[in-house]
Amino acid sequence: MCRFNINQKIEYAERHRDFDKSLAGAVLEQNPRLVNVQATRESRKLYNLCSKVHSELNHLVCFLRFNVNSTGILYAKHTPQNKIEDLILQFFMFRFPLFILVLESKRGIFVGYKNRIVKYEDSFENVMKKLEKIPKAELKDLEQFDNKIWESFYKSQIIKQRFNKKLFKKQIPKKYLKMQSFEIEKRDFENRSLNEF
C-alpha cells in the first residue's frame, strides 16, 4: 500500500464511495515530497481513501466465496462498499483462469472471462443464460490436484483440541459472516473431511 505512487493512490481513491474529484487536483498541485509522506491535509485524506479501498479489496478476496452452477460457472452475490468489483474479479480470474466468473452487485453484473471483464445491466438470470451457451472448462478441471493431498491438509487444520466455534466467529468480521456465500463455513464448520466440506 505505501509503495503506491501518487497516480495509483488516486486511482484507488477514485473508487471510494465518498471520493471528491477536486481532491485529486489539489493533491497533484502540491509538492510531491510532501504528498509522498502525507504531510498535507489533502494527501492524508487521499491516502485514507486509498487505504480503505485497498483494505476492503484484501478482505473480500479472503472472504468472498463463489458457488459453482451445473454448467461450471463460478458466481457470487455481494455489493462492496466501494467500486471494486472489477478488481475482485481480476484477482479470482488469475486464480481460476479457465472459468467464467460472475459477480452480482447492486452496481450491475460483472463477468470475468479470458482476461476480460464486462459489466452487464441485465438481470442475473438473463446474463447466466447467455453465459451457459459459451463452451467452458469442465468442472473436473477445478480438481487439478490429488484429493489425498488436500484431504491430509484439511485434516491437519481441524484439530479437536483447538475447536472453538466462538473464536472462529470472533475472528471473522461480522459483515462477512452475513454474506450468503459464507454459509458453507458456518454450516459445515465441524466437518472432518474434504469431501464432506
Instruction: Give per-residue pLDDT as tens, 132-141.
Output: 888 765 545 5
> Which residues, other chains included, contact 61 with Cβ-Cβ below 8 Å and sequence gap of 6+?
88, 91, 92
Residues 81 and 111 in one domain: yes
In angstroms, the Cα distances linking 182 to 67, 104, 124 are 10, 15, 20
Kindly state whether residue 136 falls inside one of the protein's structural domains: yes
- What SS3 class is residue 151? helix
CB 73 within 8 A of CB 100: yes
pTM above 0.75, yes or no: no
Over residues 140-149, mean pLDDT: 56
- Full domain range(s) for residue 78: 64-144
**Considering the domain boundaries, does residue 1 fall inside one?**
no
Asked whether residue 112 falls in the same domain as residue 153, the answer is no
Q: Note the residue count of the chain.
A: 197
Which contiguous run of DSSP H or E holds residue 27?
helix 21-28
